[in-house]
Structure 1
Amino acid sequence: MSYILGYDPETLREKVNPAQCQERLDEIGEQRSLPALLERVWLLKVLGRADDALVISEQSVRVARMAGTRKDLLRARILHASVQQVRGAYAAAEQELGTCAEEAEGHGWAGIAAFAYQHRGKVHFDEGSLESARHDFKRALFLRQDAGAPDDQLESTLLAIDTVERRRAAESVAS
């Protein structure tokens, strides 16, 4: 079940039903499996509880490092970086996402690389680096198309590219 109802066209943040997300968070409780930890991180992040999400994301990275696969570790690191982004630690998030994207591409894991580029594009977007955001979103789109990603992933990337293009156009008109 997807908890994402869409994306805010101004901020690129996920739109969710907070009650549904909180209900799911309550269901997961204190489970410590890696999938449960990752889901808790995401739910806490979209509910605006970034400090709690950071603690759990650090735990998920440790669990993935000890008991997961390399793919699991990359996913946990990408999610951790997305929490850093929400907390305003853009440089740390950007660096981590770049490292993850490069590693995933090096292994031929296009879907994970696209996930990292999509999130790094959001970091650039939040920073106001629209050209860098556009570049990362286009790279994510290419990788997602190459990997045969589902339509909802392609649509979120296309929305991000469109949002960047509209903001760039508005800024060039204003200047």
Structure 2
Amino acid sequence: MMHDLSKYSPSEFIPGVKYYQDGHRSPNNAQREDEGVSKAWLHHKGRNKHHFEYWIDYDVDGNSTILAGMKMPVKYVAEMFCDRVAASRIYNKDKYKDSDPLDYYIKGLGHYIMHPETDELLHNLLKMLADKGEEYTFAYIKANVLKKKKTGGL
């Protein structure tokens, strides 16, 4: 069944278009400021497994039910790492440094609901990038992190 999309304006059809920020920050933040929520982000993070927010679920702790981060498969942690590098490159443009993704991560510490092992792996990869560079870190991920997936590790 075909739908007539001509009655929709671009900002109704793709909400993020209305909030484009010329590449210097996320349009999701502008939508949050304007509408109180980013519908684009809710849609995106709920469908993309490389976002730790996708992996938040209820965890039973004794008699109480709390929200907690679930352990992410390493392939999605590697994707999350790449996503953070790409975002830092986009937002920082020619001022990008390999320490930028780590700096952004550190700003958010204490605000994340992430499984401790997922958080540790991401943090270590971001530190490695800052200390040893992109070429070394990507080779390490390919040889050591993603290899675990093929040998049965998470």
TM-score normalized with structure 2 length: 0.31
Whichever structure has more helix as a proportion of its residues is 1
Could you say which structure has the larger radius of gyration?
Answer: 2
TM-score normalized with structure 1 length: 0.28
* Greater relative contact order (Cα < 8 A, sep 6+): 2
